Amino acid sequence: MLAGQQVVILRDNVDRIGGNEAQRSNIMAAKAIAEAVRTTLGPRGMDKMMVSQAGGDVVITNDGVTILHEMAVEHPAAKLVIEVAETQDNEVGDGTTTATIFIGALMEQAEALINRKIHPTIIANGYRLGMQKALEVIDEQAIKTDGEDRDMLIKVAGTAVTGKSIEDAKDIITSIVVDAVLTVARKDEDGKYKVDEDDVQIKTMVGDSMEDAELLRGFLLDKTRVQHSMPKRLEGAKIAMISAALAVAKTQVKSKIKITSSEQMEAFSEQENETLRSIADVIVSSGANTLFCGKGIADAVQFYLAKANIIAIQDVPDSDMKKLARAVGATIVSKPEDLNEEMLGEAGLIEEMKDITITRITECKNPATVSILLKGTSQIFVDELERGVYDAVRVVMDALEDGEFVVGGAAIDIELMMKISEFAATQEGRTQLAIEAFSRMFEVVPYTLAENSGFDQIDKMVALKAAHAKGENHAGLNVFSGEIVDMLAEGVIEPARVKRQAIMSATETAALIIRVDDMMISKNASQMGM
């Protein structure tokens, strides 16, 4: 209302939620998301079964980001929380559950502060100060190693896969993961390790057991030649890569061709055949003996390629085309006429694998390509295995690049909680309360690990704090015995990068959400379930 007159600035189809209600709704949504994944944290965390009613697909997983993906969430604040988990996954590959429950804890703390009439701006500011302190504490506490410390890397991989249904084959799988990463790692000018995620491929097959996992040099493509008459194995491959379909282009205008005699029919198919034959001829004359095509290959083209003893594989997914091009040093062209000798990639050997529809491309021009082949008795199982191994590959890469580790099993969290709480005491006014609240975010890891393992949360927290107060800064919770033990000695270590990323993105997003006091929701957009 303006001078007694109502001014309408929003369209009819916009809902508006303001003030406390907006804050409450957002806090509740963020807490609900955290609640959904907290029971999966740690080696004794449980798995979740997600069933899609539409397709009947079943996913069983312990992986935070996967669970959140599968949940069809509508609330805008909940979506922001899920984005944090996704960022965590993209940036560092592990710690998605941790990042999510961190936000839940920050929102819970914020709720209490807001109830005490502390302004959201002060809370957000205190959270940022707390975050900076947290990053300093991690710098101080991080264990630094030089060069490749295989033993540490194995432990990092082991920590990432605990609780992810890998227990029985943990030694085999962690050593495969570490070898894979070390094979593709390069050193830059200042002697720092650099690893490209795309150089390590993970493939799965149903059959055999988990212990039969293999590390293979080269690239594995889960496709095979289009015709059985094409060679199954080929040495000295010259590889053409074409993104478009190899077929007769459909005319834009739908024209009806009336064929009245068998001669006409023959002439017509003769002409089409000629076109297809010339497509095959262009490929043959480029000097290629192998073809990877991003789309389909017409039967006639397949026939002529087979006659020329070329291995052709069709419908290769985009992402595989790119990685493969990198591995063999080929340039992907959009049509056959663009091919020439320089565009071709090279591989020493191309071979179809036994019992599975996988073509293995080895002795690639770029030798830094390795593949991990995972095996298991069911698709649901190998899918979860793949997620665990993916986490492990990513953390080993992070750890190798940075050479910085923190001690897990709640050890680093207790240290952070205590150091930030001390820091809060040095600050003035209400900011002190916000930083103090921030420090309590770190309670969520020990609490949740204890809870998920069936131990009394308060008892364990008291014992952990007492140990850290005595200077035992690696003391953490043995989730199997319930004892407070030196987690470094237990080999429970994680890359410092994973923890840093979780703290940073949780804090930024929490600060963003709590400062919202007005939500305008356009009803035209997808229904938002508030």
Ligand X SMILES: Nc1ncnc2c1ncn2[C@@H]1O[C@H](COP(=O)(O)OP(=O)(O)OP(=O)(O)O)[C@@H](O)[C@H]1O
Dihedral over Cα of 460, 465, 468, 469: its sign: negative
175 and 158 Cβ atoms separated by less than 8 Å? no
SS3 23: helix
Instruction: Spell out the alpha helix ranges (H) of 64-187.
Output: 64-70, 76-91, 96-115, 120-141, 150-161, 170-184
* Cα 51–chain centre separation: 21
Q: Considering all CA atoms of the chain, what is the largest pairwise distance in Å, rounded to the nearest integer? A: 98
Q: What is the 3-state secondary structure (H, E, C) of 411-423?
A: HHHHHHHHHHHHH
Stretch touching ligand X by CB under 6 A, among 16-24, 57-65, 369-377, 516-524: 57-65
Residue 294 near ligand X by CB under 6 A: no
CA distance 223 to 359: 6
- The size of the interface with ligand X (CB under 6 A), counted in residues, is 25
Respond yes or no: is residue 63 known to be catalytic: yes
Stretch touching Mg ion by CB under 5 A, among 71-79, 86-94, 147-155, 175-183: 86-94
Catalytic residue chosen out of the listed positions 61, 63, 87, 431: 63
Q: Residue 168 contacts by C-beta under 8 Å, 6 or more apart in sequence?
A: 210, 211
Residue 494 near Mg ion by CB under 5 A: no
Q: Six-digit token pair at 444? A: 């969520």
Residues 221-280 interacting with ligand X (rule: CB under 6 A): none
SS3 112: helix
> Least distance (Å) from ligand X to the CB of residue 163?
5
Buried b (16+ CB within 10 A) or exposed e, 214-234: ebbbbbbbebbbbeeebbeeb
311 and 220 Cβ atoms separated by less than 8 Å? no
CA distance 207 to 388: 18
Residue 111 near Mg ion by CB under 5 A: no
Residue 98 near ligand X by CB under 6 A: yes
Closest residue to ligand X, judged by C-beta, is 408
Residue 201 near ligand X by CB under 6 A: no
**Cβ proximity to Mg ion, 66 vs 362, nearer residue:** 66
Residue 446 near ligand X by CB under 6 A: no
485 binds, among Mg ion, ligand X, none (CB under 5 to 8 A by kind): none
302 and 247 Cβ atoms separated by less than 8 Å? no
**Position among 22, 34, 37, 94 found at the interface with Mg ion (CB under 5 A):** 94
Which of 455, 450, 461 minimizes the C-alpha distance to 417? 461
Instruction: State residue 165 phi and psi, 5-degree precision.
Output: 55, 25
Stretch touching ligand X by CB under 6 A, among 35-43, 186-194, 213-221, 349-357: 35-43
41 binds, among Mg ion, ligand X, none (CB under 5 to 8 A by kind): ligand X
**Position among 184, 492, 503, 514 found at the interface with ligand X (CB under 6 A):** 492
**Position among 17, 22, 36, 64 found at the interface with ligand X (CB under 6 A):** 64
**Cβ proximity to ligand X, 40 vs 109, nearer residue:** 40
> Least distance (Å) from ligand X to the CB of residue 289?
43
**Position among 352, 384, 391, 436 found at the interface with ligand X (CB under 6 A):** 391
Catalytic residue chosen out of the listed positions 97, 204, 362, 509: 97
**Cβ proximity to ligand X, 14 vs 46, nearer residue:** 46
Respond yes or no: is residue 96 known to be catalytic: yes
343 binds, among ligand X, Mg ion, none (CB under 5 to 8 A by kind): none
Instruction: State residue 219 phi and psi, 5-degree precision.
Output: -115, 135
What residue type is 6 in one-letter code? Q
CA distance 446 to 456: 11
CA distance 145 to 199: 24
What residue type is 60 in one-letter code? I
106 binds, among Mg ion, ligand X, none (CB under 5 to 8 A by kind): none
Residue 398 near ligand X by CB under 6 A: no
Q: What is the DSSP letter of 40?
A: T
Residue keyed to tokens 């919770």:
477
> Least distance (Å) from ligand X to the CB of residue 41?
5
Catalytic residue chosen out of the listed positions 96, 100, 359, 507: 96
Residue 415 near ligand X by CB under 6 A: no
Which of 201, 216, 192, 177 minimizes the C-alpha distance to 396? 177
Site string for Mg ion, 44-83 (x = CB under 5 A): ----------------------------------------
CA distance 203 to 382: 9
Q: Residue 152 contacts by C-beta under 8 Å, 6 or more apart in sequence?
A: 145, 399, 405, 493
Stretch touching Mg ion by CB under 5 A, among 91-99, 196-204, 355-363, 432-440: 91-99
**Position among 23, 96, 286, 289 found at the interface with ligand X (CB under 6 A):** 96
**Position among 27, 29, 38, 40 found at the interface with ligand X (CB under 6 A):** 40
Residues 466-485 interacting with ligand X (rule: CB under 6 A): 477, 479
Q: Six-digit token pair at 390? A: 């993916």
Residues 419-458 interacting with Mg ion (rule: CB under 5 A): none
Q: Residue 323 contacts by C-beta under 8 Å, 6 or more apart in sequence?
A: 198, 201, 219, 369
- The size of the interface with Mg ion (CB under 5 A), counted in residues, is 1
CA distance 345 to 290: 9
Site string for Mg ion, 280-309 (x = CB under 5 A): ------------------------------
**Position among 33, 69, 78, 94 found at the interface with ligand X (CB under 6 A):** 94
**Position among 63, 199, 352, 415 found at the interface with ligand X (CB under 6 A):** 63
Q: Which residues bind Mg ion (CB under 5 A)?
A: 94
Q: Which residues bind ligand X (CB under 6 A)?
A: 40-43, 45, 63-65, 94-98, 159, 162-163, 391, 408-409, 445, 449, 477, 479, 492, 494
Residues annotated as catalytic are 63, 96-97, 391
